[in-house]
């Protein structure tokens, strides 16, 4: 089947007239690193204006408080930007969720700020693929939906957060609220350059483990001290020993220590866990809890663990498989060969799946080298992926489900 033979052909062909590339460029020209609150404010305003063309409400929601452990062990709050939430036909019997993020990994002082044409049809720039291009595709797909005969049969929520790249701590509850009662969800992370989608995902947990010992003179009375740095190093080695198939453990950084003539009384160990399954996650949490107690006892000091598993593992269950199969059929009808594979990366799709909602989380553009100064967008994919999303949503609307 080809687009010419589809009943939705006229709506889908309208994708060619949408300003998909233009608004991608406009949004990507503005730095919206997760910590750049002014940049995020500017981009969120532009997004609110752009998404207001849809027949519903658009609002900017304040972020939830986020705690962070500083290098000195104190716990402080981190400022995040506002999140965008739109609700279209909230009383519809059948509703879905579409999500994305406006933040990038590039802070305001990063050297990677400009857009550059790398070759014909390949645009380089910060966030062009991850995910300013994806946001343009999301909006474009919904614009096509609203031109169709089936638009009235489906309602949807849109959630675009400002902190996905840092783990969505200030938007996690918002994601859960928006996911409630939805048939399915589409998230607009970029696909791989060849169009392959992410399927099963592992989870991710980030922890800051605070060690509080006792200072002493390194020459006069060292045995009276309690060395927090040694305890942190011991913990790092024992955590790394948990690393196995299905569970990656990465002790990443130790903050602390002091002058050579003093026993250090303070240290913080930063560690990341990547469990493949919920069982692996439970094992990791239990092992961490045991080590906190045993290290505290062995080194006779206080150990406090701060953090958690912000991204639960995302398996492919029966409903998720149905959604993937639908996307694949829609791709085939458009002349696209849609495949997917498991990945160790994480995103808001993990959080949505944990709510029991089937999700395909790489419905964005084709691109690559994300999170680096070589990030690129394949511009032909803007129309291609807009049509794929639009057709997928139209088919859900027609069937009233998957």
**pLDDT band of 2, cuts 50, 70, 90:** low
Q: Within this chain, do residues 233 and 336 fall inside the same structural domain, yes or no?
A: no
pLDDT of residue 344: 85
pLDDT of 347 reads 98
Q: Kindly state the tokens that stand for 388.
A: 């794929």
Beta bridge partners of 60: 84
What are the Cα distances from residue 283, in Å, to 242, 304, 355? Answer: 10, 19, 21
Contact status, residue 228 vs residue 265, Cβ threshold 8 Å = yes
What's the confidence (pLDDT) of residue 5?
Answer: 75
Do 225 and 86 fall within a single domain? no
- One DSSP character per residue, 320-367 reads HHHHHHHHHHHHHHTT----EEEES---HHHHHHHTT--EE-B-S-BE
Work out the average pLDDT over 177-202: 98
Buried b (16+ CB within 10 A) or exposed e, 120-142: eebbbbbbbbbbbbbbbbbbbbb
Residue % of the chain over a pLDDT of 70: 100
What residue numbers bound the domain in which 326 lies?
Answer: 3-67+79-201+314-399
Of 253, 283, 311, the one marking the end of a domain is: 311
Token pair for residue 344? Answer: 């160790």
How many beta carbons lie within 10 A of that of residue 375, not counting itself? 24
Mean pLDDT of 273-281: 97
Per-residue pLDDT at 4 exceeds 80: no
Is the pLDDT reported for residue 3 higher than 80?
A: no
CATH assignment of the domain containing 190: 3.40.630.10
Q: What percent of the chain has pLDDT over 90?
A: 97
Q: Is the pLDDT of residue 216 over 60?
A: yes
Overall number of domains in the chain: 2
Give tens-digit pLDDT for 157-180: 999 999 999 999 999 999 999 999
Same domain, 289 and 329: no
Based on the domain organization, do 89 and 115 belong to the same domain? yes
Of 147, 106, 114, the closest CA to residue 130 belongs to 106
For residue range 123-162, list pLDDT tens digits in order.
999 999 999 999 999 999 999 999 999 999 999 999 999 9
């Amino acid at each position: 089947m080809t687009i010419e033979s589809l009943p939705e052909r006229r709506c889908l062909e309208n994708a060619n007239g949408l300003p998909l590339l233009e608004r991608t460029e406009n949004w990507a020209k503005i730095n919206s690193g997760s910590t750049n609150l002014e940049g995020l404010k500017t981009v969120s305003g532009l997004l609110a204006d752009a998404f207001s063309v849809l027949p519903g409400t658009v609002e900017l929601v304040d972020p939830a408080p986020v705690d962070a452990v500083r290098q000195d062990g104190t716990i402080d709050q981190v400022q995040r930007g506002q999140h965008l939430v739109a609700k279209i036909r909230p009383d519809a019997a059948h509703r879905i969720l579409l999500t994305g993020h406006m933040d990038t990994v590039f802070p305001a002082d990063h050297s990677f700020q400009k857009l550059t044409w790398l070759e014909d049809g390949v645009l380089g720039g910060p966030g062009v693929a991850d995910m300013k291009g994806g946001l343009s595709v999301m909006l474009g797909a919904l614009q096509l939906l609203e031109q169709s005969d089936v638009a009235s049969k489906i309602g949807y929520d849109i959630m675009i957060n400002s902190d996905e790249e840092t783990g969505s701590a200030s938007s996690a509850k918002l994601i859960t609220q928006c996911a409630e009662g939805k048939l399915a969800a589409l998230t607009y992370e970029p696909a791989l350059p060849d169009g392959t989608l992410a399927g099963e995902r592992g989870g991710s947990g980030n922890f800051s483990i605070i060690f509080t010992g006792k200072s002493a003179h390194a020459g006069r009375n060292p045995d009276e001290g309690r060395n927090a740095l040694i305890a942190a190093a011991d913990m790092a080695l024992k955590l790394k020993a948990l690393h196995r198939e299905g569970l990656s453990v990465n002790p990443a950084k130790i903050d602390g220590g002091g002058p050579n003539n003093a026993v250090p009384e303070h240290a913080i160990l930063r560690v990341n866990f990547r469990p493949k399954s919920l069982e692996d996650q439970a094992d990791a949490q239990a092992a961490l809890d045991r080590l906190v107690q045993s290290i505290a006892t062995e080194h006779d000091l206080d150990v406090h663990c701060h953090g958690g598993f912000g991204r639960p593992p995302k398996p492919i269950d029966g409903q998720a498989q149905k959604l993937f199969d639908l996307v694949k059929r829609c791709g085939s009808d458009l002349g696209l060969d849609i495949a997917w594979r498991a990945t160790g990366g994480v995103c808001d799709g993990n959080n949505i799946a944990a709510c029991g909602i089937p999700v395909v989380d790489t419905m964005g553009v084709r691109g690559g080298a994300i999170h680096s100064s070589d990030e690129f967008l394949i511009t032909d994919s803007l129309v291609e992926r807009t049509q794929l999303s639009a057709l997928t949503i139209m088919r859900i609307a027609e069937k009233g489900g998957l």
